């Protein structure tokens, strides 16, 4: 068979496949793109994050040593050997575990319960105020001594050798990044979502459940469970 005949057959098959794919695509219902043109806000009162969330590192470290892991893990392998004392945290309906580069997604059980409780109260406030549902980001969890050294070499001014993150009691929540879940034209500004998250943390802080430090340069709330 001449090569021209082979190419004619191939060309016909490609054309038929292309037409079939176009037909199938036309038959599928494409997701509706909803423009976000209705700004809504949480009617809570504003407050000073810096003044309210100023629990010192020394105070957080003391409780982390008392209720957390018996010692900071040296590296990831050492942390893996402590898994029986820890529980894994995973992305769910209320928060996203970020792509962690300098920590691993594990906490002691009471810290995990507190994180989940913060997420549940966050979702409840949004629902009760008829606001769209968003998820917040967990940006740092359990760090090893190796992680701390790497962060210090990279110039992270908030990375201290005696870190609460080394005991599984502590996690960071970003306050300027959120993931919208509800498909609606309503939307909220990051500053207003920060107010919702701040109100939840203030409630838990006042109840004696957590210590909170507002970290402006890292754009996060640094949280240590107290019991």
Q: pLDDT tens, 48-91?
A: 999 999 999 999 999 999 999 999 999 999 999 999 999 999 99
Instruction: Report if residue 10 sits inside a domain.
Output: no
Instruction: Report if residue 25 sits inside a domain.
Output: no
Instruction: Report if residue 15 sits inside a domain.
Output: no
Instruction: Report if residue 11 sits inside a domain.
Output: no
Q: pTM for this structure?
A: 0.82
CA distance 192 to 197: 9
Enumerate residues 6+ apart whose C-beta is below 8 A from 198. 47, 49, 52, 53, 175, 221
Instruction: Report if residue 2 sits inside a domain.
Output: no
Q: Which residue has the tokens 């792509």?
A: 99
What is the CATH number for 71? 3.30.1380
Q: How is residue 90 written in tokens?
A: 């995973």
pLDDT at position 3 is 32
Distance of CA 170 to the CA centre of its chain: 13
Instruction: Report if residue 16 sits inside a domain.
Output: no
Alpha helices for the chain (secondary structure H): 3-27, 49-52, 57-67, 76-80, 109-128, 145-153, 190-206
pLDDT digit string, tens, across residues 172-196:
999 999 999 999 999 999 999 999 9
Instruction: Report if residue 110 sits inside a domain.
Output: yes
Bigger pLDDT: 5 or 66? 66
Count structural domains, the chain: 1
Instruction: Report if residue 214 sits inside a domain.
Output: yes
Residue 13 has pLDDT above 70, yes or no: no
CA distance 164 to 161: 9
Domain boundaries, position 86: 36-225
Q: Which of these, 142, 72, 143, 147, lies nearest to 109 by C-alpha position? A: 142
* CB-CB contact of 120 with 202 (8 Å): no
């Amino acid at each position: 068979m001449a090569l021209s005949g082979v190419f004619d057959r191939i060309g016909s098959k490609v054309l038929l496949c292309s037409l079939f794919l176009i037909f199938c695509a036309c038959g599928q219902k494409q997701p509706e793109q909803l423009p976000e043109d209705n700004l809504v806000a949480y009617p809570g009162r504003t407050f000073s994050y810096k003044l309210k969330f100023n629990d010192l590192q020394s105070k957080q470290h003391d409780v982390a040593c008392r209720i957390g892991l018996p010692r900071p893990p040296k590296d990831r392998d050492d942390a893996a050997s402590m898994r029986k004392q820890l529980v894994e945290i995973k992305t769910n309906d209320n928060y996203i575990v970020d792509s962690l580069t300098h920590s691993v997604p594990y906490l002691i059980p009471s810290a995990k319960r507190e994180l989940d409780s913060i997420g549940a109260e966050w979702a409840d406030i949004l629902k009760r105020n008829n606001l769209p549902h968003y998820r917040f980001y967990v940006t740092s969890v359990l760090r090893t001594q190796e992680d701390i050294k790497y962060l210090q070499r990279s110039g992270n001014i908030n990375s201290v050798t005696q870190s609460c993150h080394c005991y599984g009691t502590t996690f960071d929540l970003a306050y300027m990044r959120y993931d919208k879940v509800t498909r609606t034209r309503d939307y909220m500004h990051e500053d207003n979502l920060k107010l919702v998250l701040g109100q939840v943390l203030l409630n838990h802080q006042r109840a004696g459940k957590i210590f909170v430090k507002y970290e402006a340069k890292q754009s996060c709330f640094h949280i240590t469970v107290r019991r």
